[in-house]
Structure 1
Amino acid sequence: MNTIAITESKKPNTKQELIATNVKLLIEQLEAGHSEALTTYLTVMSRFHNYSFGNVLEIARQMPSATRVAGFWTWKSLGRFVKAGQKGIRILAPIVGVRRKKDEVAQKDITKQNERVLLGFRNAYVFDISQTEGVELPCLRQVTGDPGENIERLTAFLNSRGISVSYSANIAPALGMSYGGRIAILPGQSKAETFATLVHEAGHELLHRSERRTATTKIVRETEAEAVAFVVGKAVGLVNEDSSASYIQLYHGNASLLAESLEVIQQTAAVILDALEPPISEEVTSEELEAVAA
């Protein structure tokens, strides 16, 4: 997907503007026949699931090939330096202030004298690892074609949420079924297929067992669940190319519906990925960690 320039005067300055601007640009690409744009956005989600929805869209628009980003000083602290002439990836970072408690409140509980409050947002810039040079960084643990322990981890996470997982040949020809508090998986699939199916059904449990289910069609629900499986599968190194073309079904010419679908996909994939593996925190400063929430 080609990056699209936004003039300085029109740069979005709030989370709502950020999301609206990027969804509008995505729709323009889809209407121009670039259906791969939506798959590209989902792929970026798989790489930056700890970032906010708005900032994921910003990274996808400006550098869809980005894989690992950090601020200038963070890269320097890791022994890497931003190459001369490289342009930073703009994201929104929150401006956080401190609100002091009243004296009488502070005297009652000395540990609660101050509280952090959101004052607004500011521009912040991060750089992809491809824009830097220096010492080699430790490789992140990746799984290629094999989910490893992630089937067990996801099962344990679902059980902790009150969702049971069982295997049954009776659901054939379906690969998996979501019953609301219970998931059934068809036995005999490869580990990669089992994991993808389990994520798909977990997506249904987390996405579609609420009031929102009545506002979506079966096609949208299935596509959202498959998109969650795509994002999570990409993040753990699995290859899932067959269904990428179907994600275009999320788009029906309605910007708000597309934005809602993409946001719930991002949030649900993030919940699952956080359950599978703790977030990598050593590559960002505390200031940049706040930026992911923008």
Structure 2
Amino acid sequence: MAYNKKNWIKQKEEEKKQWAKDAVESIKLYERSPEDVKDYLDFMSRMYSYSPRNIGSIQRQFPGAGFVASKEKYKELGFEILPDQRGIDIMVPTPVKYFKDENGREKQVKYASKIEKELIAENKLSTSQKTFFSLKPVYDITQTNAKPEDYPKIYPNGRVDFDVTDKNIVKDILQATERYLESNNIPVRSENYSLIGMGAAKGYYSPSENRISLNRLNTDTENMTVLIHETAHAIMHGDDSNMTSTPVKEFEAELTSYVVNKHFGIDTSSFSNEYIAQWTHKLTNVKDVETSLKNISSASTQIIEGIEENLELEQEIALEKKMDQVLEDRNEIRLTLSQYDYNDYVGMLDAHADLLKEKFKSDNIYIKKGTETKLPDQNDTLLVDKNYLVIENQSDITGEDLKDLQYNTWKDIALSEGERTGKHFSISAMYLVIAEDDHLTIENSIAKSTDLDLKGKSGEELEFYKKAIEVFDKTNNGMTIDNLSFENDMPISFEDFRSLHEEIEAMMSQGTEKDNNNLSREGVERDYVVPVQQLEMMARKFGMDKEGKLKQPVIHLPEENLVTTLKAFSSSLSSGYNEREKFEYGLYTHQDQPLYLGQYDTKENKSLIETLKTDAEKNDKSAELNEVFKQVREQNKQKTMEMELTKAPIK
């Protein structure tokens, strides 16, 4: 949800001033709790004790380094080094053992012969040890995949993720802040700090270059607080002719960041109080607090107004973009449980809501309610409007995570669910569904089943995919997106259209010869085979029988080498997707040749059906066209009857 100015009551200037004053009192009284100190010391006790020389070398290469260890040590602790992180080189002692052979020559023990090793073991040959030093890389913990919760509360420069109800607001504010800075000619860059010697720093403002840099490893909420902190530096200290002391600069910048974040509903006091207290020794080295508070009030107002102005612009851009989108953006996990009805899902959520929220790290879990009946416009399939669970993906779960979630997480509730419902607890479908900017991906625990970009698709293709996605939303059956058999609405090339009859004939003859054995569909990558008795149904799905007759008329557009059903093409014209003003067409009811050729022109203000009738009359094909329309009406009546029969739930 984007930031909505109407939903956020703009605080009066006096209230913002009061926030700053309250924060000042908290900073003066700030004390680290004994528990936090103990956690920090316990954490640091796991680190190897480095020599003073190595400690100095570490700080020179990686300023702000705290907990430092080798790649092997981090592996023991359960952490991995992040990609593209440069190691911190330290001098590592390597002891080498020597002995003197019978001729008095000094040799390394590892090169001793078998007899010499026996003499060494019996102390008949004297040994000595020399220590050599070599460079070995170590890494700061901020260069690992350690999460914010893995750090002690008072760990300096540790990763932080502030508690935010809607993380989209953070992204909106970040974009708006960057846009505000760009309008003031202050560029923002995200950089790999391990490569540029900035170490564990989270960001900085460079007055000489008038730019802001952010550590590429920051979390989104860290970036927000750091970016506003550095923005405050740029506004208040960019041209520091008064030579303000560093503690005062940090006090003003961080308290400004606190006030601005609080205005947008984000409480950073746990970080800000600690930060300011350490920099200013509880404000003892800030001589004129009142002057600083005036600077903070002025800067925070300026930044808030700049962000809000650009938030409104971001919303306008997002609204324009949304109006052009075919798909609504989403990021969710969908789960269908075998044999579960709606009440079973409700009971499961009641019994295991806390566990599900913990496992999926999501507080938005709900049930998509279905009718549990066959879809009326899919009479050649067994597709059912299903109940299923929808989990908003708030923690960026990936397709790789699904396997663990599917096969391990559910063990925690499978037994109790079996006892509660008396049903076998089984997952029949689990998908990660991400739609962003009209790009749809669907993944299961094995692979990515759909990767579909709708940008640039023709009107007919969009109509087809919209229908397929609607079916997927009802059924939670991922195969429906890439299955091109729904009434054959998907446009194909004219060459493919002409070859369909041969393919269907070949399948049918192959099926007869095999005498009901199973046949694999040639050219289709599937891990199953299709029974011969289903081939006739497959031919119907193609829209063509084995004699080449079509069950519904199709349109051929020769200029575009495109063939699609009359139904789909007419729908795309009426929906406004079709941008053609004038085109020639061929109407086919049989694969071999067109019933007749015609031309459509939008300037004539006729519907496609009216044009078809006019062109049929010109070609003396009115009787044939009326017969085609009669057959289509009969098919529609049949579908209506079947729809009535499928209204009762499937047992």
- Coarse TM-score class (shorter-chain normalised): 0.3 to 0.5
Which one has more relative contact order, counting CA pairs under 8 Å at least 6 apart?
1
Structure number with bigger Rg: 2
Give the TM-score, by structure 2 length. 0.21
Give the TM-score, by structure 1 length. 0.44
